[in-house]
Amino acid sequence: MAWVVLVLSGVLEAVWATALAESRGFKRLWPSVVFVVALVASMSGLAWAMRSIPTGTSYAVWVGVGAVLTVVVAIARGTERATVARLLLLAALVGCVVGLKVVS
């Protein structure tokens, strides 16, 4: 269960990172509200998962999931380019996150 919560917290990291960019420096209300709610939920889930998953592993998985999904959202929205090198590096990052689960 801790792994499910950790991955969902990583997904919420991508949500709050995207909402933060959309808030335009907290000048837009709804993206700012989404940012705060997703941030609190993401950090709470990370903290809960860290009760049973080692800190280094938890943090690496949380950041990895959040980073990959944030880039995928940016590529889907057309704000970042999907180059071969970028896609290969994202695939390697996903592989590292999966590897951390396998060796845990």
DSSP 26: T
pTM of full prediction above 0.85: yes
**How many residues in total does the chain contain?**
104
Q: Please give the chain's pLDDT, 104 residues, in tens.
A: 999 999 999 999 999 999 999 999 999 999 999 999 999 999 999 999 999 999 999 999 999 999 999 999 999 999 999 999 999 999 999 999 999 889 98
Contact (Cβ atoms closer than 8 angstroms) between residue 28 and residue 82? no
Q: In this structure, how many other beta carbons lie within 10 angstroms of the beta carbon of residue 4?
A: 10
